[in-house]
Structure 1
Amino acid sequence: MTDTTPALPTEIQVAELLAIAVTVAREAADTARSMRAEGVSGVTTKSTDTDVVTAADRAVERQVIAALGAKRPDDTVLGEEYGGSGGEDAAVRWVVDPIDGTVNYLYGLPQYAVSLAAEVNGVAVAAVVRNAATGEEWTATRGGGAYRGGRRLSASVQTDLAQALVATGFGYDAKRRAHQAEVLTRVITRVRDIRRFGAASLDLCLAAEGGVDAYYEKGLNPWDHAAGGLIATEAGLVVGGLDGRPAGPDMLVAAPPAIFGPLTELLAELDAAGGP
């Protein structure tokens, strides 16, 4: 039987993709930070009145698209603000969130990031998340581990859900938030405590380095977790959805192997993936 499974890139090719991602993300983060220092402008809303987008979100994404186009003109880019660009048959797709944590950015809270991942045949193979406010940077390659500042990351080895510190986030639609709040009031009695920082990519990186034990959220888009999900996976977390499904818009859970099952079972019991 002929193996028709698409080949993934070599280690050298992945390293080249990561090097490009890091360069582009650092330049984009510099732009986001400098535009924040000049004052936030061009603030509008998207899905709801609380779902904000700024001129910097759009400018940073345009910069990333242009930089990737100059370095790899045959690739495609999927971004939060402008959607997809490039041909459909490209071997590599870049997934970018130009400013993850725009509300934090709007208020000057130092929890906003540039998130950039390279996917080959639909699989993330290289990723970088850079906190634009602080310069903290996390990277990963598929099969090559996750790192922060040259230090290889190892996620939490927590085995007891009741002792787990769990991060989460909320959507912008009021009805969805109400459902998520109902779920949260039940989850918080079954874990050590809850944290909410406001940027999915940074939540995943925090989990990857053991700053929290686990993370879950409903309503994430590919650009929210493409990079952070690879970093979390390479640090030793299980990243997936409920009932054996992959991570997706209905639910993403990142947790140590010993508590992934109990946490996903709890979330399924509470219908965390349901509601609006």
Structure 2
Amino acid sequence: MHPMINLALQAARDAGEALAHSSDRLDRVKIIDASADKFLTSMDLAADKTVLYHLQKAHPEHSYHSRVSGFTEGENKNVIWLIDPLIGNKNFAAGHTQFGVSVACQIDGVIKHAVVNCPLTLEEYVASRGAGARLNAHRLRVGDSTDLDNTLISLNPEHLPHEDFLNFQRELLQLGAGPRISGCTAIDIIQTATNRLHGGWAATECEPTLAAASLILQEAGGLLAGNSGNPDYSEAAELVFANPKLFKKLLKLRKQAAS
């Protein structure tokens, strides 16, 4: 396993262990910001410090971009660690299991390595560009569904146009698909990599939140793009992701939902 993956795993495991312990005592977890756009708990901060401690101890010269603590430029501007210390933090605060720690390493503008640790489900997702993706010791591959009938499609209604969301969900149901809402887009993306889900539609989130999940999906053979179909989703308002055979069908449904 690549040294960067090993380092990211160590950081994510340490932070994930603390999150798992805290999930048993949510009365001690403080809500620092309850707004929809900037929801933040005391464990976001604690997990962020843990991840950064491990990474910066090993590579103080690297740069770091965290959803929680922002951007820290190092001497080496070509290597940037992208960190979301608590994906699904609203789920965590509510006592749900769909949360985790996300760490990705970007080199020369390209995401090269990714780790997502989900401590309560005992699942670790890893990927290196060109080397595939794994869940624990098992290689990941997206499904091969060609029709939406009997598929499970994730939706995250936060920040999506209300009428478009209702239209999209209605179209899915009419085609025999089963909509699913987990409350965490990054986890929906990696669940698509495992073939537990077959695709999804959601609002775009910040790069540190989606970086690891997007590489894991791509290395499992999946596609992810903005709602226009452009793989560079950095300027897009929405995301569509799926296995290659369903991807265009979801894009088409999204356009129909807006008409």
TM-score (norm 1): 0.85
Identity of aligned residues (%): 25
2:229 is matched with which residue? 244
Is the 8 Å Cα contact of residues 164 and 258 (structure 2) preserved in structure 1? no
Equivalent pairs counted in the alignment come to 256
Counterpart of 2:139, as a letter, is R
> C-alpha displacement at 1:138, in angstroms?
0.8
* TM-aligned CA distance change 1:256 to 1:270, over 3 Å: same
Alignment of 1:36-115 (within 5 A): 36-39=23-26, 40-45=28-33, 47-48=35-36, 52-87=39-74, 90-115=77-102
1:41: Cα distance to partner?
2.0
**2:203 paired with 1:215:** no
Taking the aligned partners of 2:34 and 2:64, their CA distance within structure 1 comes to 21
The match for 2:4 is 17
Give the Cα–Cα distance (whole angstroms) in 2 for the partners of residues 94 and 128 of structure 1: 11
Residue of structure 1 equivalent to 2:242: 255
For normalisation by structure 2, the TM-score amounts to 0.90
Shift of 1:46: 5.2
Query: How far apart in 1 are the matches of 2:3 and 2:182?
Result: 32
Q: Please identify, of 156-165 and 109-118, the stretch whose mean Cα deviation from structure 2 is larger.
A: 156-165
2:93 counterpart letter in structure 1: L
CA distance in 2: counterparts of 1:78 and 1:259, whole angstroms: 33
Contact 2:64 2:73 in 1 (8 A): yes
| 1:102-134 CA distance string (max 9 Å, x none) | 121112111111011111122111101111222
Could you tell me which runs of 5 or more consecutive residues in structure 1 were left unpaired when the two chains were aligned: 1-11
| Backbone CA RMSD of aligned residues | 2.2
Alignment pair present for 1:117 and 2:109: no
**Aligned equivalents of 1:178 and 1:236: distance in 2?**
31
Distance change >3 Å, CA 53–CA 181, structure 1 → 2: farther
Counterpart amino acid of residue 131 in structure 2? G
CA contact (8 A) 1:165 1:212 kept: yes
What is the CA-CA distance between 1:185 and the residue it aligns to? 3.3
Equivalent residue for 2:182, pick from 197, 208, 225: 197
3-state SS in 1 of match to 2:153: strand
